């Protein structure tokens, strides 16, 4: 177990916030985690479990203990002619796992290539991109309860998965730590190409469709649109895509016939927040050291030396513009700490 006092979080948040935690603990086994959770310090102090810090915005120093998983391993636990079940440690880097599935010829995770973060977060955030969500692959989630240190297994249907949602970030927030996730992947060719320009990009290149080529196209599309956090601090999409009543969508469509939209459940329509923000004229603009990415308006960036408060000020100004122009409330996808 690694255990540090007064620890800089600069390398642990992709927004590049220069903040500190009172203490930083990284565990290498489930037993180490259980022992830590049952220790007196864990019972009294404020705890925050982080992954790669790619969906967080620290608004100041963290007065408590940050926990981080170093649980590794990718293990095949069951297999048929058609499918394979793979159990993965929560501390594995998500994209390393995706690269592994592609190398092994396992279908299902390739559309989620290059999403920053770790395997544990895939089960908490229900990460998604290009028509696929983690919930499409997750079979079960192994956890440890923060209060008792006991292990608890959640089947996928107990996880409350929906768009960027799970019980681990809502009803049971802060109560369980994900230690391993089991995914079900396919062994027979099955590609999802219907989102955005994936199909046309593949066709432009010609040649045979393979897992590796699809991964490469997705990586390229992401790199073209999204800033590299190693260069420009950011946390991917800052807001969620709003779900609006169909009646509001119909009304907006009369004024904005090109309004992109995706079908959603129960009489709602999902609209791209990036488009709404772009239409409000925010793309490429800045407020002080906080900016809106010039190629994807849904991504807020640290232009260098921004504080969490600078980013929050920009986020609030954007929310006000979208509210005023479209009557829509944008909700942050990023967690404010």
The contact set with ligand EPU (CB under 6 A) reads 129-130, 195-196, 225, 236-237, 240-241, 260, 272, 274-275, 278, 283, 296-298, 333
Asked if residue 269 lies in contact with residue 163, where contact means CB atoms within 8 angstroms, the answer is no
Residue with Cβ nearer ligand EPU (129 or 318): 129
Name the minimum Å distance from CB 9 to ligand EPU. 20
| DSSP bridge pairs for 62 | 21
Closest alpha carbon to 238 in 133, 331, 137, 113: 331
Q: Is 92 annotated as catalytic?
A: no
Q: In what order do the strands lie in the sheet with 286-287?
A: 233-237, 299-302, 290-292, 286-287
DSSP assignment, residue 156?
Answer: G
Tokens of 14: 């992709």
Is 164 in the active site?
yes
CB-nearer residue toward ligand EPU: 174 or 281: 281
293 within 8 A of 277, measured Cβ to Cβ: no
The distance of closest approach from Cβ of residue 269 to ligand EPU in the complex, given in angstroms and rounded to an integer, is 13
Residue 164 CB, nearest approach to ligand EPU (Å): 6
Question: Which residues touch 297 (CB under 8 Å, ≥6 apart)?
Answer: 274, 275, 277, 278, 282, 283
Ramachandran quadrant class, 73 (left: phi over 0; alpha: psi -120 to 50; beta: rest) = left
Cβ distance to ligand EPU smaller for residue 25 or 218: 218
Which residue of the set 69, 113, 166, 237 is catalytic?
237
Q: Is 167 exposed, middle or buried (0-12, 13-18, 19+ CB in 10 A)?
A: middle
State the nearest-atom distance from the C-beta of 224 to ligand EPU, in Å.
10
Residue 191: how many other CB atoms lie within 10 Å? 16
Q: Which token pair is 242?
A: 């709003």
Shorter beta-carbon distance to ligand EPU: residue 72 or 279: 279
CB of residue 292 vs ligand EPU: minimum separation in angstroms?
Answer: 8
- Residue among 63 and 281 whose Cβ is closer to ligand EPU: 281
Instruction: Give the residue carrying structure tokens 């407020």.
Output: 287
Q: Which is nearer to ligand EPU, 22 or 216 (CB)?
A: 216
Q: Would you say the C-alpha torsion 182, 187, 190, 192 has a positive or negative sign?
A: positive
> For residue 302, what are the β-bridge partners?
233, 290
Q: Which of 72, 152, 164, 325 is catalytic?
A: 164
- Residue 81 token pair: 């002619």
Catalytic residue numbers, as ranges: 164, 237, 333
């Amino acid at each position: 177990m690694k255990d540090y006092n007064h620890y800089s979080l600069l390398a642990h948040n992709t927004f590049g916030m220069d903040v500190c935690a009172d203490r930083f603990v990284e565990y290498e086994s489930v037993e180490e985690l259980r022992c830590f959770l049952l220790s007196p310090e864990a019972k009294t102090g404020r705890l925050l479990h982080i992954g790669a810090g790619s969906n967080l915005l620290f608004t100041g120093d963290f007065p408590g203990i940050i926990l981080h998983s170093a649980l590794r391993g990718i293990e095949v636990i069951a297999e048929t002619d058609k499918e394979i079940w793979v159990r993965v440690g929560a501390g594995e880097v998500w994209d390393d796992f995706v690269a592994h599935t592609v190398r092994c010829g396992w279908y299902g995770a390739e559309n989620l290539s290059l999403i920053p973060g770790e395997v544990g977060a895939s089960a908490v955030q229900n990460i998604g991109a290009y028509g696929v969500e983690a919930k499409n692959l997750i079979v079960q989630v192994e956890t440890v309860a923060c209060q008792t240190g006991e292990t608890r297994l959640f089947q996928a249907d107990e996880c409350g998965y929906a768009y960027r949602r799970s019980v681990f970030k809502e009803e049971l927030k802060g109560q369980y730590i994900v230690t391993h996730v089991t995914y079900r992947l396919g062994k027979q060719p099955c590609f999802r190409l219907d989102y955005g320009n994936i199909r046309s990009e593949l066709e432009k290149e010609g040649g045979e469709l393979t897992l590796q080529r699809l991964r490469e196209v997705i990586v390229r599309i992401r790199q073209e649109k999204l800033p590299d956090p190693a260069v420009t601090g950011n946390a991917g999409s800052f807001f969620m895509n709003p779900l609006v009543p169909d009646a509001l969508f119909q009304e907006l469509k009369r004024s904005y016939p090109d309004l992109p939209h995706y079908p959603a459940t129960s009489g709602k329509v999902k609209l791209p927040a990036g488009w709404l923000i772009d239409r409000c004229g925010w793309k490429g603009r800045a407020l002080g050291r906080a900016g809106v990415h010039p190629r994807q308006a849904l991504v807020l960036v640290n232009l260098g030396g921004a504080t969490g408060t600078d980013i929050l000020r920009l986020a609030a100004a954007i929310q006000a513009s979208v509210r005023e122009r479209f009557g829509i409330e944008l909700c942050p996808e990023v967690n404010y700490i």
